Structure 1
Amino acid sequence: MCSVDEEITKVEEVTTHDSGLCSAAMVNVAQKLLAEAIGTFFVVFAGCGSVVVNKMYGSVTFPGICITWGLVVMVMVYSVGHISGAHFNPAVTTTFTILKQFPLKQLPLYMVAQLVGAILASGAVYLLFDPKAEHFYGTTPVGSAVQSFVLEIIISFLLMFVISGVATDTRAIGELAGIAVGSTILLNVLVAGPISGASMNPARSIGPAIVMRNYKAIWAYVLGPMIGTLAGGFTYNLVRYTDKPLREITKSSSFLKSVSRNR
């Protein structure tokens, strides 16, 4: 039998240990959020900065803007991907959460960090270049809002499909994730940039919209990427390779759950 003093000592040791674990976990989450905010800041700052500089001075060119977006995403993936996962995008984080590849309790924290990073970056661009309304560096449709909405769904689908392949499948070459994702963004901006602005990221569109008070068709740049990334993530899970025979996969009441368990 242990004495009362010994029991108290044991409780204090357990409490101290649990407290230490909680503190370490909180620090870890804080580091992830800071990395996510910094990464989103520089993605938006470089990308939107190239847009406004080109509109004001014409020295970047459209291909240069495409390359800037692709390169900055690639650079930041390699810089903080091992810390926060390098989402930089509320739609990507939401998709990972729904597919149970990211903890639900961290979803709102990540989204706030991403939005803060995007707004701060947009504010920095505005303060540095003092753009006029015609130099807007956000995303607005050139054609109809519906056209841009559909286009955002398609390019966001491709982006999430690629991210799922290189970031969640253990058979992929993880070291090439930054190159693959950055190249996908470059290609998407080349194709969709002249029409929709090629957002693929609600934070990228919301930041400049708030700073410059231009909310034209903002719904298309929030819903489009959300729908596209969800569709892309689910589709990759459907085509993900599994060595189990089809009859075993389809026995389950949920085909998607079976595929997810065998990824």
Structure 2
Amino acid sequence: MTATTDGRGKPDGILDRIQNFSDPKQEWRRLFSELYGTFLLVIVAAGGGMMSQAFPGVISRQAAVVAPGLMVLGVILFMGKVSGAHLNPAVSIAFALRGDFPWRRVPGYILVQLIGATLASLVLAAIIGVSSSYGSNYPATDYSAGAAFWMEALLTLGLVSVILGTASGAQNVGLFGAFGVGAYIALAGLWGSPISGTSMNPARTFGPDLVSGNFTDYWVYAAGPIVGAVVAVGAAFVLRGRGGGKSGSGAAQGALFTEVR
């Protein structure tokens, strides 16, 4: 995109370049958006378990699993147009597989999502004063890691299906898709959390595990969501064909510099 001028034939200054969201050099805005959004998600998602440990009986399981859904709803509404509000490596991979998001941007998104989750876990541990392992996810007692893996894959299949569906073609509902995604996360947590904790997000579990130094069965929370996301992309192809079209690319990439695939 060519630079604009100040009316005298001279290029605008640095302020214009900063405000020019169509400039691909503004990728740092997207990356900060993903870091900040994932930070907020993990503050709530991991914070529920850690606060329950610090204040027994105060926060119910229902409240702890519904809160992340409400946070995701809010994050999508306030910054979805900046980065697409993936907040989740499995979602970034799914959008790329779907052809709605450039693969070259995936590593940067995943890196800042992991950083955001880690920063949130550090802040929670410092404020609440309990191990961040209480805010992580582990297979339930008497259930195998394999059972938790399949639960995470199943739950993520539904999550990514909702995300891809509300961001694709005629089904695109813009920012109102936030309500569908937030509601699904809350619903999945209400029935699926007893077995696996309902992570559906490798970054959400990575942060607390890294800070606590306890990566017990972390593979479940890395592999399960990715497998579920890949299957969801296949289901989206069966339902709608290739890609999510212009609306799908816009939803996946935000409005800063959308590359229609």
Contact 2:164–2:244 (8 Å) recurs in 1: no
Contact 1:119–1:210 (8 Å) recurs in 2: yes
Partner of 2:242 in structure 1?
Answer: 260
Q: Could you tell me the TM-score, scaled by structure 2's length?
A: 0.82
Mapped pair 1:76 → 2:75: yes
Identify the structure with bigger relative contact order (alpha carbons < 8 Å, sequence gap 6+): 2
CA distance in 2, matches of 1:94, 1:145: 23
Counterpart amino acid of residue 149 in structure 1: F
CA distance in 1, matches of 2:214, 2:169: 39
CA distance in 2, matches of 1:177, 1:128: 33
Residue 164 of structure 1 and its aligned partner are, at CA, apart by 0.7
Distance 1:172 1:99, change over 3 A: closer
Q: Structure 1: where are the runs of 5+ without partners?
A: 1-12, 14-19, 241-258
Number of residues of Structure 1 aligned to a counterpart in Structure 2 = 227
* Within-5 A mapping of 1:168-187: 168-187=168-187
Distance 1:130 1:175, change over 3 A: same
CA distance in 2, matches of 1:149, 1:206: 15
Counterpart amino acid of residue 184 in structure 1: Y
Q: Structure 2: where are the runs of 5+ without partners?
A: 1-9, 11-16, 246-261
Identity of aligned residues (%): 31
CA distance in 2, matches of 1:70, 1:113: 21
Larger Rg: 1
Q: Could you tell me the TM-score, scaled by structure 1's length?
A: 0.81
CA distance in 2, matches of 1:217, 1:93: 23
Q: CA RMSD in A?
A: 2.3
Contact 1:40–1:117 (8 Å) recurs in 2: yes
Partner of 2:166 in structure 1?
Answer: 166
CA distance in 2, matches of 1:171, 1:132: 42
Contact 2:30–2:82 (8 Å) recurs in 1: yes
User: Aligned to 1:195, what secondary structure does the other structure show?
Assistant: helix
- Which digits, 9 at most, give the CA deviation of each residue in 1:166-223, with x for residues without a partner? 1223433223211100010001111111110101000001100000011111001000
Contact 1:136–1:212 (8 Å) recurs in 2: no
Counterpart amino acid of residue 54 in structure 2: M
Residue 261 of structure 1 and its aligned partner are, at CA, apart by 6.0
